[in-house]
Structure 1
Amino acid sequence: MFAAQDWKDYELLDTGDGEKLERWGNIILRRPDPQIIWPLDQTNGSWSQADAHYHRSSSGGGQWETRSQLPDRWTIAYDKLQFHIKPTSFKHTGLFPEQATNWKWMIDKIQGAGRNIKVLNLFAYTGGATVACAYAGAEVCHVDASKGVVQWAKENAQLSGLGDKPVRFITDDVFKFVQREQRRGSQYDAIILDPPSYGRGPNGETWKLETDLYPFIESCLAIMSNRPLFMLINSYTTGISATVLKNILALSLGKKHGGTITCGEIGLPITASKLMLPCGILGRWEA
């Protein structure tokens, strides 16, 4: 398992009964997680100290119950990278802390390349990977269909002191963007994909990972440079295994460029139990 173990401002305190207890800076949040099918340790009194608890609704969605007044948003840091955290109406906070293991890997790859690297970040959300790649010295194109999260990503870049770096923030359907980049003859040395299981673009375009991921990766091959550095795929889709990602990468990038493929689970250490919480899978292709 690839574990994000070097956080200081984030900590997964405990897990149980379908929920996780997390420290985000000095704020404690309690949120549901479907992977947690083991019992809660009733002797751990920290659970009652959560500043906010997200309750799912039987009709869909949910809401936060707060024990104390929460700030509208606050800031946490991972090494020299900084991010705004804000509890949203759909339980997320704007950051997936397990992705720190990928940020670290990408920073090392970019800084070790010995040349200028151009990165395309697709389904880029609030820009964790964008900030990491820009910090490493890459030129980055950040694409997401949601205007709100693209603005959030801009703010994270500025917060990390990267406002003057060569980063383009684009609100667009990723399929259409890649097709236009093909027509323009654009080329990228590294491509990051963090696709949802299901999604809808700004003009009603639909995305379903099981049917659309492989052809989309094939279309991305057309805009990879002659000296590609890496491709990273993240998946949180239940039922898709790391071996599936390995096969997809082998049949696409591996077949065309050779290189090395590494796949596996991604996770976070649990402080109370010393266990690991699985948080999805990743597939890495590198030259």
Structure 2
Amino acid sequence: MFDKSQYELIDFGQGRRLDRFGSYVLDRPCQVAKGLPRGNDAAWTDADAVYTGANSGEGNWRSSAGLPLSWTIAHNGSTFELKLTDFGHVGLFPEHAVNWDWITHQVRSAGQTLKVLNLFAYTGGATIAAVAGGAEVVHVDAAQNAVLWARRNTQASDMANAPIRWITEDVRKFVQREIRRGNKYHGVVLDPPSYGHGPKGEVWKLDEHLPSLLEMCAELTVADRRFVLLSCHTTGIEPADLERMLRDSMGGLRNGVMESGGLALQTIDGRQMPAGIATRWAVNR
């Protein structure tokens, strides 16, 4: 998890969330906070930026004069660039930090250099975590701006020369080509969106395409699979659903430890805000 000096969920409720990233407090829409009461009304007056409108690229930020165009926060020796985006995000989802720490542990304790495939890799949190453990990483995302952002994060984290292969491409097309090439991986990380498009207009729908993608990932890792991490924020999918899909696609995954559950962030006063789900598997050592 993030150190409290770097990130903190201050409050949530009435369809919004109040987060502090480093020195700056942001007030944003939050689907899971709809219909819930706020815990600390007074705290909301301290926001440095407020996102209004639909959380789909159609809204806008209203920020104070003191908020920079970009700033950074740190986690376990790595540095992440943050900035306000048109979608109401900042380039980092703090609930994933617990999984980044898990990835670093899996790689570091493997006893050999692992090759890791990071799909829907966004701004590179999982990529940096794998590299920190000593892995070679292939980072794949359909959005060029996200890949460039991830590269800046590795540079800020003193990983500019790390063994990372950067790919801007439709995830399914890339995985299919890797299979044809006979390439193999020890670990796979996936954080797929509910819906999206590839750089050439390829359509991604999680409910339609995730099972077949997992089957292809199983083929890429069948020779020496060490870990798999699958997370998502799709409404209506439960941790048990993710676990079932993962087991069905990868032959049951019986020779390891599977963990599934909800991701969450905790406020200063101890309230839990749901923030997606994840299932992860690691081979018995």
Give the structure-1-normalised TM-score.
Answer: 0.94
User: Does the Cα contact within 8 Å between 2:27 and 2:50 map onto a contact in 1?
Assistant: yes
| AA matched with 2:170 | D
Give the structure 2 partner of residue 277 of structure 1.
273
Give the structure 2 partner of residue 86 of structure 1.
83
Mapped partners of 2:82, 2:137: distance in 1: 22
Mapping 1:49-198, distance limit 5 Å = 49-57=46-54, 61-198=58-195
Deviations 1:73-123, CA, capped at 9 Å, x for gaps: 001001201100011011000000010000111111111111110000000
Match among 209, 219, 222 for residue 222 of structure 1: 219
Mapped partners of 2:12, 2:126: distance in 1: 26
Cα gap change, 1:58 to 1:135, in 2 (>3 Å):
closer
| AA matched with 1:281 | I
Q: Which runs of no fewer than 5 residues in structure 1 stay unpaired?
A: none
Mapped partners of 2:251, 2:101: distance in 1: 23
Q: Which runs of no fewer than 5 residues in structure 2 stay unpaired?
A: none
Give the structure 1 partner of residue 37 of structure 2.
39
Give the structure-2-normalised TM-score.
Answer: 0.95
| DSSP-derived class of the 1:178 partner | helix
Mapped partners of 1:226, 1:159: distance in 2: 34
Match among 206, 229, 232 for residue 229 of structure 2: 232
Give the structure 2 partner of residue 18 of structure 1.
15
Deviations 1:125-150, CA, capped at 9 Å, x for gaps: 00010011111110000000001110
Mapped partners of 1:80, 1:27: distance in 2: 20
Mapped partners of 1:86, 1:60: distance in 2: 15
User: Does the Cα contact within 8 Å between 2:55 and 2:87 map onto a contact in 1?
Assistant: no
User: Does the Cα contact within 8 Å between 2:29 and 2:55 map onto a contact in 1?
Assistant: no
Mapped partners of 1:71, 1:133: distance in 2: 30
| AA matched with 2:130 | C
| DSSP-derived class of the 1:148 partner | helix
Mapped partners of 2:28, 2:186: distance in 1: 37
Give the structure 2 partner of residue 244 of structure 1.
241
Mapped partners of 1:151, 1:51: distance in 2: 26
Aligned-pair distance for 1:211?
1.2
Cα gap change, 1:177 to 1:59, in 2 (>3 Å):
closer
Over 6 Å off, 4+ runs: none
- Percent of pairs identical after alignment? 44
Mapped partners of 1:59, 1:205: distance in 2: 19
User: What is the root-mean-square deviation of aligned Cα atoms in Å?
Assistant: 1.6
